[in-house]
Structure 1
Amino acid sequence: MTRADLRSQAREFAGKIQTLLNQTVADNARVTAGFVGEERMMAVGANLQLRDLSTKPIALLSADKKMRCFLDIQYLLFLEETSDHYMTVKTSYFGVSGSADAKDPFFHYDYERHKAGYTEAHLQVLGENTGLTPIMEVLCAKRKKKSMGELHFPVGGRRFRPALEDVLEFLIDEQLVQPKTGWQSALDRTREEFRDIQLRAAVRQNPDLARDALKGIPEG
């Protein structure tokens, strides 16, 4: 697989995300892809600016004219160094905020492949907890900041981390977003693709376990 192949797949991936957003929780959402310097990686993001690869959160549909949530989406993609050269996510970020220019989101879901120090897939909630803060001040000596927002809550690891569709469904279920008609089927369709990819990767990494599991399936 060549640099051109990665560009093609990354752009297709960006297009799928853009279509999903506009079918479910947004109007005129824009998601694009661009190469990261001279490296063999592609950035995909919400309102991605190619000159500096910065992103800007997308306005989500709301039942109120004055109050709404905004969603920032960022991916960094590369080619897996195997015989098949799969396009792989190096990092991903889904951040929810109250404006397109907010300095900090309310919360964000992160995935950082091979991250040291804490779990690769995690959730951070930028808030304070009056009971937790004094405990962190005593026990978390190595942390510069000692607030709940600095904690990395694990969310399923590399293979079972939340998909973008899970985050969108959460926002809809909690009434933070006013979805479009047919949103559930749209989310289910693309989420199934994500889970199939993760399952295939898990099978490739654990072929013996997969064979053992299949042995237990009764003949139909």
Structure 2
Amino acid sequence: MANVELDKQTDEFAAHLQRIGELFDPEFSLSKQMATKGDLPVARLVGDIHVNSFLIVRFDYMVFVDQETGLLTIDNSMFSVLPGAKNSEPLVRWDCMRSPHSNIPCAHIHVHAHCDEWASAILTGDEHSPQSHGCPENEPRAPRIADICLPAGRGWFRICLEQVLLFVIDEIGAACTPEVREALDHGIEKWEEVQLEAMVRANPALALEALEALEA
């Protein structure tokens, strides 16, 4: 039964992602994989959106159905902006983890670039620096900006696919029609509504307190 509900809700989310991808690439198609994480049934959704001839936005979601709410929940998500060349390294990557296994931020950014000043700063840091946990002792190498986890919000305050696509439009110059921008803006609004609903469910007393303050 759990697998059936996961399959159903994952297909609904996949349909949304498919529509977003087709805004930029009519031939876009994502992939869906069913698996388990421990005893928990999970689904993975992966896709490459070719926003133009030289830029790709890649997404990778791992989702499950929350047993308490019965709602589809994102366990992990990753968004990457890549040059169009095959097997190229991302320019930037956003990672969001529901339950990180270390002290890194649950939502963070990796900038894939190289800079002598950054390398020097990392090397002169103490044992708590990104270099100390980003590279095994038996594999020494020069530190890179991509090793650093730049915070990008926590829990419900995470980025969504539509925001990444607006980033490549506004900051890198990918083509965009008014209709596409309107659809992306609408998607962001829906994402924020879903996150707000999740916050209210998790903090009903705080939500009630805020509403009572408005009525006072």
State the superposition RMSD in angstroms: 2.0
Q: How do residues 103-182 of structure 1 correspond to structure 2 at under 5 angstroms? A: 103-115=88-100, 116-139=102-125, 140=129, 142=132, 143-144=134-135, 146-182=143-179
Structure showing greater relative contact order (alpha-carbon pairs closer than 8 Å, 6 or more residues apart) = 1
Unpaired stretches in structure 1, ≥5 consecutive residues: 47-56, 63-67
Q: Is 2:3 the counterpart of 1:3?
A: yes
Q: How do residues 48-127 of structure 1 correspond to structure 2 at under 5 angstroms? A: 57-61=48-52, 68-82=54-68, 84-99=69-84, 101-115=86-100, 116-127=102-113
State the one-letter code of the partner of 1:61: N
Partner SS for 1:36: strand
Aligned partners of 1:214, 1:193: CA distance in 2, in Å? 21
Instruction: Indicate if the aligned counterparts of 2:42 and 2:64 stay in contact, CA closer than 8 A.
Output: yes
Aligned partners of 1:206, 1:107: CA distance in 2, in Å? 33
Greater alpha carbon shift after TM alignment, 31-40 vs 200-209: 31-40
Partner SS for 1:133: helix
Partner SS for 1:60: strand
The 1:10–1:100 alpha-carbon spacing in structure 2 relative to 1, beyond 3 Å, is farther
Instruction: Indicate if the aligned counterparts of 1:159 and 1:202 stay in contact, CA closer than 8 A.
Output: yes
Aligned partners of 1:148, 1:211: CA distance in 2, in Å? 43
Aligned partners of 1:156, 1:15: CA distance in 2, in Å? 26
Structure 1 residues 168-219: Cα deviation after superposition (integer angstroms, max 9, x where no partner): 1111112431123411210122222211111011111111111111112248
The 1:69–1:34 alpha-carbon spacing in structure 2 relative to 1, beyond 3 Å, is same
Aligned partners of 2:57, 2:167: CA distance in 1, in Å? 13
Report which of the two has the higher share of strand. Answer: 2
Counterpart in 1 of 2:42?
Answer: 41
Unpaired stretches in structure 2, ≥5 consecutive residues: 136-140
Counterpart in 2 of 1:52?
Answer: none
| Number of positions where the alignment pairs a residue of Structure 1 with one of Structure 2 | 202
Deviation at 1:15, TM superposition (A): 1.2
State the one-letter code of the partner of 1:19: R
State the one-letter code of the partner of 1:88: T
Quick one: percent identity of the two aligned structures?
Answer: 24
Counterpart in 2 of 1:198?
Answer: 195
Partner SS for 1:182: helix
Partner SS for 1:105: coil
Aligned partners of 1:88, 1:9: CA distance in 2, in Å? 10
Deviation at 1:59, TM superposition (A): 1.8
